[in-house]
Structure 1
Amino acid sequence: MRKSVLFTITMFIVAIFIISIFLGMSYKDYYLESKIESIKVSRLNKIYDDYERYVELAVITSTREALNNLSIEIVEKESFPDNEEEVKKNLTEKINKSIYKWLESIKNTLKEQSINVDYVVNDIYFTGQNDTWHVGTYINITLILESSIASWNHSEQRIIESPIEGLIDPLYTEYIKEIRGSSISSTPIITIKKSKYSFLENSGNYTKFLEFRNNHWYRATTRAPSFLQRFYNDSSNSTYGIESFMNESLLDFPPNTPAENRSYIDYMYISGIEYNLTDLYTIEDVNQTFRLDGDSVSIYLGIDADKAQPVS
């Protein structure tokens, strides 16, 4: 009897042990599977975040491409748009034509990595300028990502800011069209390069002036037209104004010749503002055709204003 009870107890313990092992193995399998699924979902989340960034880059690229194409178009047609609204309309049309090229490129690139994405552009248009060094493009887009374990279908509306640095400056159209011959590619193209100096009150000096001039930099200033205004040849001052020195490579390019009675601030020179020679200055060790008005001497040379000499 005792042996029978002992055997029963022993078998019961063995059964519990076997069941506990089985349950443990089942739990571990489930745990591993859940972790794998969690990793997959996390990876898809990251892919979706990356997809959003790719779309942002597509909008920026389309916007910058549209701006450069409009600058070239102005040269080819030898005329500026009439106003800001016409510029916005033109840029919106160009962005709408090019955005799909970049979005399809992103879609196909991800497809090569076995990632299925799609999109629906509900609306996209150029909004204008909200700060000195950027322009905005509004987009309303639905982003779609599909996989065997999860899918996203999300619409978002936002304004994406595109930097203007590196873009063609359309203000030089009048000079480019005179010297370009039969092809714009044969002429100098002036692009926006942001200065590392602000030239705030009393901060200018001779060294900064030379570096600014030699590097063809632009600075932010409320006395100048904005980047967008340059597309419709408006030289009035703007909250988002930028200015540079007149690019001398264009002035020395036949048939152009330097004007002796103009300041070499780009928008002043191009808009035809004329000074008495007594109100213009040449700068020490700089080409003597280069001239600045008195206010500009104070801004750019500052404490080294004695490096400037009256023309006459």
Structure 2
Amino acid sequence: MASLAAISSFGSLAATGLTDAAFLYSAGRKAVCVTGLIDVPVVANTTIVNYLGPANNFELTEFITNFARKDSTAFAAYIGDTRQVSDTFSIFSKLCVPNDAAKASRLSSIQFLTHGGTTDHNYWDFAAGYSYVDAAAEQGYATFSYDRLGTGRSDHPDPKQVVQAPLQVDLAHVLIQKIKSGSVGGIHFNSVVGVGHSLGSALTQGIASKYPSDFSALALTGHSQGSDGGTIGFAAAAQQIANTLPDRPELKRLPNGYFSLGPIPQTLQFAFFYYPFFNTTLFTQEFNTRQTNAIGETLTLGSLYTPATAYTQPV
């Protein structure tokens, strides 16, 4: 980890807006970054989830199976009325700028990176040679990544009634406004590009639909208009209640509504890795650090798939 004095020579990157701030380099040292927690006030309309479980992994498996069944009525059975949630959540965040004084001095746009399910912000800066943050920095872009609510080092509130897709959209919108205003890291950005992976792409699409002026462009990865094979992949992950996973003891404190990939590596490979075209060491690293999904997010994800008719920027 680099000192504040070392980082300050690369421009105006500061700890503004962050608590427990730390300065560090990206995995390949192409960017300098500041990490920390941001308090994010959110007011959002959520859904009352009519589901008390899962009490155990048998019940969770049946819950997931209900989604994969032909003509499933799972959503109708579990989705209730709407309600408003108003709260402030602590979100772990990472702002990075190029580790090149000339490139850093010309910054005007930033990429807003939203990770997918069972990962966290580290997805974007995973290892030297496998870092989106490094690649973006080499092209002169700043990046902002964060742990979605309910993942990583961010808050983990009620996984059914609070951690839902619509709230994630409104939370991201507040973060984007903070970034544009210079309230995070002390740098103002005129333009924000929304970049998502998988579930993060769905959330990014949802932001563009509800808040079309937030982004000047979108890049949606691990995401498609077609859904063929989606239910098979969802089931093949063999997800289990996170607090029951023997190899992830740090998740033991979470309530039962948080779940993650099952405890054998095939649960990760089936959905995301095509053998033999991947680095097995990095595969193992990702499996050993896998994160959580929330049942509320799963049940409300479909609400994001509405045409973003007011968004007219590049995709």
Report the TM range for the smaller structure's normalisation.
under 0.3
Higher strand share: 2
What TM-score comes out, normalization by structure 1 length? 0.22
Instruction: Find the structure with the greater CA-based Rg.
Output: 1
What TM-score comes out, normalization by structure 2 length? 0.22
